[in-house]
Structure 1
């Protein structure tokens, strides 16, 4: 009898362990990612659905914390009837018996269609990475000079939302440039050049533009304006706001900030945003912004473009007061003077804190970039305003949108001086 019971349990064990589940595998690419379109296509085909995969696609990582967040997001989209396993060469989906058939057919179809549509929405956001004109832009109109806006790290052209109304009210046409802020700056610079040239060629633009760039965007703009092979006379003003000309130590925090954004989007159930965040590349641009990086060494070795007026704005409202900085420095000094192993570890780990504190302290930095780091040999001294890194391009948080923007008086004066009253060159 005991043998019969054991045999019976052995017969029942595979179904109890889920062996009767339908297993669907989607291969992982060499970089450790899986395309959402392939997931939708594989699950749809395996369950007899005819759902069209997203036309615009995203790739999710299956490794590390991003992989864990991606698995959580997929599980929330597909439901508890699907077990997801990340394996070395594939993502395995184990589907409960009967899923997609009978009464569950409609619900399962809605889940797959929801994943496909949200993927398209998220990918469409990424596809906006290009040169785009606002309705205020008019090519070759001498009465409406053009300003091209280039955003910085962890931002987009929407970060200029407070400045754009002021510029348009003052009579300027606006073109915005969006790019993936996580990718390496060499790639972003190449794409900026290509998009700039293609846009101007498409609309037949012959007049020069002003370029207004914030933070990391200054490096992208400078790469074009100071680079070889550029069309002469297509830029008549370069305004750099909190430019990372000599790097930023705060950029070391970028991987942490990206992870926080991804985690928050998944936790808050913002599926479209979470898909876009999880598909974002690692912060390679942050490495390029670290002081002494190969990218900074290369770009700063170039001469300035003498045909273009340079204007620089910096902020000096940081995250630390002078008193708070002094207390930090005193504590570190006291600790480092001891002879114990903790002192040695402190010195080895922290190194010279002065540049980091300069970025964070009132009077020497704006919370992200030090005033000193905005300086550029061959360019005028920066005009220093009492604002933090964000407030240099937006209204203070205490004011309603759009509110006052502290940098606008300077910007409008410079644009008037550099851009207006210039004749349209003859057709080529």
Structure 2
């Protein structure tokens, strides 16, 4: 009996021990699973919070960082800005918003706007020009060198930043508010003029007054002369018309951004308050802004050299009372004009022009985008520079295929054949 009892006790203890082990193991297993679940949830919450914090920080940085360009934005020559940093301190960030009064960017953009208005342009046409240029360089670092987008004032040509075109191109890059290309046509490296907004606009006004406006590049669809552009009040159209000066590669231009920036500037600068002023316009641009709207030449002036608009011409045409005397007077005027034109024509040294070509053999490349030298030209610009070197009259900018014929005739050449 005792043996049976001992055996029964051992069996019971064994059974009880197994159950106890199972119960404890089960509890521990559930505890481990529960801890794992809780840990996982905490990790997910922590990770999610971390992402949110990072995103918010990036948004603030991009919003305030004036030295950072949109990754998708490209210069008009096709090169893509490469951001080198997204960091900025609060002081420099505060200067980067051109639409907020009190910032450095706003001050510079407003200077450009008012300079154009004071030259007679309507507020809307001035806003179009300022809006287009906003995505060219920037208004906080107005001397920004092409290819430099992250180092604050150190990205300015005034501080020695050398513009780069990117890729394999060895041509000089552009710089400044309007991305003057090549940059050397405005000012040399390290010049303080690269941080002078007034001088930059004065340079542009002078260039346009000499004919540097090509209606063939007008993206508004109107092919306006500069004077016609100066009178416009449609913001979207004035923004796109400004390409007649910029002559950017539209494959790399974002029209909607240009228009949106122009609209915003028109709003903050109250563009509608400023009307076209012919007296101011004539003083600033003279006949250089009145090139014909159906001409694609950037160097040819309109037959209407006094700058009168088409309505005034129409009024004169409708006046039939003195048509005979008007015609006679016009013929006489044209003859006098031709005589004056003939006097202005210079003798061109063809041998010297040919030497210009020979000197460039093996030293330059062909480029339609970087066509103003000194390292690359296209056919028309090469011809222009060669003949100018030989004594031809300069125009505001190198002639293109459409304008070189008139320019050649203006320099004494005779058209002997035209055909396929």
Where on the TM-score scale, by shorter chain, does this alignment land: which range? under 0.3
When Rg is computed on C-alpha atoms for both structures, the one with the higher figure is 2
Q: Which has the higher strand share?
A: 1
